[in-house]
Amino acid sequence: MNNQNISDVRTVLQKFQDGYAARDLARLDEFMQLFVQDDSIEMIGIGAAKRAANEWFEGLARVREIIESDWRYWT
């Protein structure tokens, strides 16, 4: 990995951190652009033990749903 790749990864991770820190629901769709735009995407939450079970989210709609829930209800 070269320095530009490292810088690019850090930039995306910072945008992710900034989005989660701000928790601005009006910018959720913009935040979702940080993710691969493919329904094969998966997000694994705390407590996930197996695919398609509790805390294992599949597809962009489900990933968006859990992020929205986190931003709305968790501090």
**pLDDT per residue over 12-46, tens digit each?**
999 999 999 999 999 999 999 999 999 999 999 88
Q: What is the pLDDT of residue 28?
A: 98
Rounded average pLDDT over 59-65: 95
Question: Do the beta carbons of residue 57 and residue 49 sit within 8 Å?
Answer: no
3 state DSSP class of 56: strand
The dihedrals phi and psi of 3, each to the nearest 5 degrees, come to -60, -35
* Dist CA 70 CA 31 (whole Å): 13
**pTM score, two decimals?**
0.83
- Tell me: domain 3-73, CATH 3.90.550.10, correct? no
* Dist CA 49 CA 56 (whole Å): 8
Instruction: Evaluate if residue 47 carries a pLDDT over 90.
Output: no
